[in-house]
Amino acid sequence: MTDRNAPTALSSAAAIVVDDLRFAWNEETTILNGCSLAVPKGQFWMLLGANGSGKSTLMRLLGGLLRPQGGDIRLLPPVGFVFQNPDHQLVMPTVGADVAFGLVNEQLSLAETHYRVKEALNAVKLLPLQRRPIYALSGGQKQRIAIAGALARHCNVLLLDEPTALLDPDSQIDLVAQVQRLVQEREMAALWVTHRLNELDYCDGAFLLEQGQVVDSGDPQRLKQQMMRHR
């Protein structure tokens, strides 16, 4: 049974809990088979694994885009999701309007909405671009706008599905370092999917997913060395 909106169901230390999660597309294609993990509040963890290990499916389940067929998901709301391609989630014509769009359901005053937008854009160092058209942004800037949308909603959990996949090397490092800083400053919990082992230098811990199960977790440098030996 999945309870996505009950913070009282979480321990005080955990913001993301996955317990014995199961998902299959059909009888022949099992994606997740007893997957379990937990991310403490105020920590930045990464999810590793080969193609087909179930990483993206797990993130879609956490983000509510798919429904699990067994097991339990508990998240400390609100939850923000950052896609691999930011063009799939930026919907408004300008930077400020897009960040404000995510606040529509919160019934905030106009003044509070403006404050939240400026606060979030300042956190990702893009406040001077508030009036800039989305189409005029770089890939790295678009990803930071997507993160700003989650920050404006004061999210406790941030899910990022390979957010640097389409970025150049400099933008990759800039983005992961910025998420590390935001997690520390705001005491959020973040789970970040990556194939890039150098990004492990910025997180508190990592999970290794194989055939739909977490087979190892803990010190990111230990897992980094382990994966480098097997390349």
**Domain chopping of the chain, boundaries:** 1-77+156-231, 86-154
> Across the chain, what does the average pLDDT equal?
91
Mean pLDDT value of segment 204-223:
95
> What length does the chain have?
231
Sign of the CA dihedral with 178 first, then 95, 132, and 86 last: positive
Higher pLDDT, 3 or 31: 31
Distance CA 64, CA 51 (A): 21
Type of residue numbered 206: A
Type of residue numbered 163: P
Mean pLDDT value of segment 64-71:
94
Mean pLDDT value of segment 102-127:
94
Does residue 62 have a pLDDT over 60? yes
Q: How many CB atoms lie within 10 A of CB 80?
A: 23
Among residues 153, 220, 216, the alpha carbon closest in space to that of 188 is found at 153
Does residue 10 have a pLDDT over 90? no
Enter the tokens of residue 165: 């996949």
Q: What is the pLDDT of residue 39?
A: 97
Among residues 75, 118, 74, the alpha carbon closest in space to that of 100 is found at 118
Does residue 26 have a pLDDT over 90? no
Q: Is the pTM of this model over 0.85?
A: yes
- Give the architecture (CATH level 2) of 1-77+156-231: 3-Layer(aba) Sandwich (3.40)
Among residues 200, 202, 192, the alpha carbon closest in space to that of 222 is found at 200
